[in-house]
Amino acid sequence: MKDQLSSNLTSIKGRISDACARSGRRDEDVKLIAVTKSASMEAIRHLVELGVEELAENQVQQMTKRAGMLQESLSRFSTRTGENSAKPRWHMIGHLQRNKVQAVLPWAALIHSLDSLRLAEEIDAQAAKQGVVAPVLLQVNISKEMQKFGIAVAAALPLLEQIASLPNLEIQGMMGMAPFTNDEDVIRRTFSRGKELFDEIRSEKIGGPAFRELSMGMSNDFEFAVEFGATMVRVGSALFEGVEPNGETSPITDATAMAPE
């Protein structure tokens, strides 16, 4: 399993690197985030051993459970060997319900899915209670198709202005998704729209100096995203291709992840 993961990882890093070269960017400006929602715990541990420290889940319960399990096994390892263990960072990339904010905050290094004023206010309030400043990305619906989540492009600037004053939130950038399609023109247009909005927000300085991350690109389209300036790509299925899927828990279906509040 580890060999397969290692070869997948090498191939994906190479493709990111090639896309950087094509677009005059540096490899270190693009972060690979491993989306582990359909991977087993064993595969996640191997991945961390291979040096991957940015991990993502789209469901709060699964994320907190796995983050806890991983931390436990890493600290057992460092107690046994005396070596410093890896310090994985977990990204919350799925729709976040307000009643889950409290649970996710202690584990999430970055929440990619801020998509409403009400959610922003809840994160701000819970972060204040926990004595932290919560790093978040604004999720924007950059595809023209109906997507369930993400705020409309035209609503992004007004929303940012409203949440800029919340003291316990740090808006570190934005997240967007292309539609599920093999039509490269559609994918390019979507990412181009995302990059344009990102640049506009930065030039208007609404997000402040912390606004610097553009989270775009998945297994199907991450090379395009890199060419259009993504600083984070979220890759799942391509990374775990040929690896035993998660056998411990039933797969989280979209229906569960997107349950209404």
Residues found near ligand PLP in the complex (CB under 6 A): 35, 37, 58, 93-94, 218-220, 234-238
Q: Which is nearer to ligand PLP, 206 or 234 (CB)?
A: 234
The least distance separating ligand PLP from the CB of residue 257, rounded to whole angstroms, comes to: 8
Q: Which is nearer to ligand PLP, 235 or 243 (CB)?
A: 235
How many CA atoms lie within 13 Å of 206's alpha carbon, on the beta-carbon side? 18
The least distance separating ligand PLP from the CB of residue 219, rounded to whole angstroms, comes to: 3
The least distance separating ligand PLP from the CB of residue 161, rounded to whole angstroms, comes to: 25
The least distance separating ligand PLP from the CB of residue 35, rounded to whole angstroms, comes to: 4
Q: Which is nearer to ligand PLP, 102 or 220 (CB)?
A: 220
Q: Which is nearer to ligand PLP, 34 or 201 (CB)?
A: 34
Q: Which is nearer to ligand PLP, 10 or 78 (CB)?
A: 10
Q: Which residue has the tokens 């905050």?
A: 105
The least distance separating ligand PLP from the CB of residue 85, rounded to whole angstroms, comes to: 26
The C-alpha atoms of residue 228 and residue 219 are separated, in whole angstroms, by 16
Q: Quote the longest CA-to-CA distance of the chain.
A: 54
Q: Which is nearer to ligand PLP, 137 or 166 (CB)?
A: 137
The least distance separating ligand PLP from the CB of residue 165, rounded to whole angstroms, comes to: 28
The least distance separating ligand PLP from the CB of residue 236, rounded to whole angstroms, comes to: 3
The C-alpha atoms of residue 201 and residue 190 are separated, in whole angstroms, by 17
Q: Which is nearer to ligand PLP, 6 or 147 (CB)?
A: 147
